[in-house]
Amino acid sequence: MASYASRSFVHSFGPTFRARGGPSLRTKPFSLARYTRGYATSAAEQPRLRLGSTAPNFLAKTTHGDIDFHKFIDNSWAILFSHPADFTPVCTTELGAFAKLKDEFEKRGVKMIGLSANGLNSHDEWIKDINEISKTNLQFPIIADSDRKVAFLYDMVDQQDLDNIDEKGVAYTIRSVFIIDPAKKIRLIMLYPASTGRNTAEVLRVIDALQLGDKKGVTTPINWEMGDDVIVPPSVSTEDAKKKFADVKEVRPYLRFTTGNLNNSH
């Protein structure tokens, strides 16, 4: 990702952009038209946000001050989630719901950080609305991304918007969710259209599944929730599984479930 950032994003974003691990570089003024032409036509210039790849680092202004994203994550898990715009109905319900789950995310060692394609003054006023409407106290930072630097870096854009740029000359961000582990690796990506709100319970569920898998060396079946049976991965033989786990139920040689004290992950 560092080579991509230094090759493409440093060229596109101005007046300055700092590639991960590199110095601050002064660049030409940002041109969305120039960037979207390359975005639409050059496969070599596409972001490589694969599961297991390092989450691109960036500097940004947020409602909690300036941040370096990797320093913000530190040694925690993190969830980065984007929103199309401030003072919009679906986004307002989402931010309120995530704010109410502050204790649940903290219990799992997860830092939350939002992103909306507006400036800090707008964010500050919007947070007042969110708190009043949802009866909550939003405490996580929200990135001000009015120039779409982070949105393009993380490919948080809709192709339809790129093809039909509005009168402001910018594309709206979609609803993206990136779950990132303490090693700064992207572990899960969810992409939603602007019209569809997310499910906070699903975000918590997949964090539970990822953390349990990392700690116990298991995988999770369809619709798994904390407390359900888990699956012994194919890389572990049944003989070794019986030594490792308290109980192993073999449905097929390739499908083995186990219970025990695996679910005490927090």
| 91 assigned to active site | yes
43-47, 159-163, 200-204: the lowest-pLDDT one: 43-47
Share of the chain above pLDDT 70, in %: 74
Per-residue pLDDT averaged across 79-93, rounded? 90
Q: What is the pTM of this model?
A: 0.77
Output the CATH code of domain 217-258. 3.30.1020.10
Tell me if domain 48-197 and domain 217-258 are identical in fold: no
201 pLDDT higher than 90: yes
pLDDT at residue 1, as a whole number: 38
Given pLDDT bands bounded at 50, 70 and 90, which one contains residue 107?
very high
Quickly count: other Cβ atoms within 10 Å of residue 177's Cβ. 17
More confident of the two residues 104 and 24: 104
164 pLDDT higher than 60: no
More confident of the two residues 54 and 168: 54
Name the active-site residue from 1, 73, 91, 143.
91
The residues spanned by each domain of the chain are: 48-197, 217-258
Output the CATH code of domain 48-197. 3.40.30.10
**Arithmetic mean of pLDDT over the chain:** 80
- Kindly write down the DSSP assignment for every residue of 244-264, as one continuous string: HSS-EEEEETTEEEE-SSTT-
The type of residue at 235 is S
